[in-house]
Amino acid sequence: MIGELLEFARFILGFLPWILFLFLPTDGWGPLRRAVVVCLAASIVFAWKGLRKGFILQWATLGFFLFCTISLYGFKWIWLAKHMGILANGFLDGVIWFTVLAGKPFTLQYARADLPPERWYDEGLIRGCRFIAIFWGMLLLVPTAFNAFQLFYPSILPDRFGFYLSLSCISVGICYTTFYKHKKRKQREAADHPEYS
């Protein structure tokens, strides 16, 4: 149980800068600039271990918020601020799909961190991690599509709708990932010890 909670916490930490970015005020030039700096700091402080281990999601997150910080403070790119919703969601979703298409789903790095090396190349593990990464990729297409829709029809739905949609997608993703991992763990334990099933 404690191990599962630690896995869950590690997974949440991978998304923490994005979750912070969702909750921090970004409605205006000043609040947006402060938010990207806070998220940049969070992507270093809370993901230091993942960065040292070369986790793709952590490095991509750091790169995104570093790019945004330099663009907003150094170059004062207004267009970036105007399109931040679609850029942030699209970038995160793009990173997830890149890891899937490259054959190294981001979820596999998290799974391997909790397993002995002899299980790292287990076909079931790789297949399950690919499935979860695809699930996340499909799930994050929803807020990305909403932000694209909002570019063309900005007044149809309130901005808060996008917030709740993104929050719902992240919550569903976290809950489903936790459920899926728990289910697979129980199946593996039952297969390893059929006398207890």
| Cα–Cα distance, 197 to 182 (Å, whole number) | 16
The pLDDT score that the predictor gives to residue 195 is 65
| Cα–Cα distance, 156 to 61 (Å, whole number) | 30
Confidence of residue 161 (pLDDT cuts 50, 70, 90): very high
Q: CA nearest 36: which of 93, 80, 1?
A: 80
The pLDDT score that the predictor gives to residue 187 is 86
Look over the chain and give the mean of its residue pLDDT values, rounded to a whole number.
91
The pLDDT score that the predictor gives to residue 74 is 96
The pLDDT score that the predictor gives to residue 196 is 58
- From the number of C-beta atoms within 10 Å of its C-beta (0-12, 13-18, 19+), residue 172 rates as middle
Q: pTM of the entire structure?
A: 0.91
> Which two three-digit tokens encode residue 114?
């909790």
The pLDDT score that the predictor gives to residue 76 is 95
- Domain locations in the chain? 2-188
Q: Is 136 helix (H, G, I), strand (E, B) or coil?
A: helix
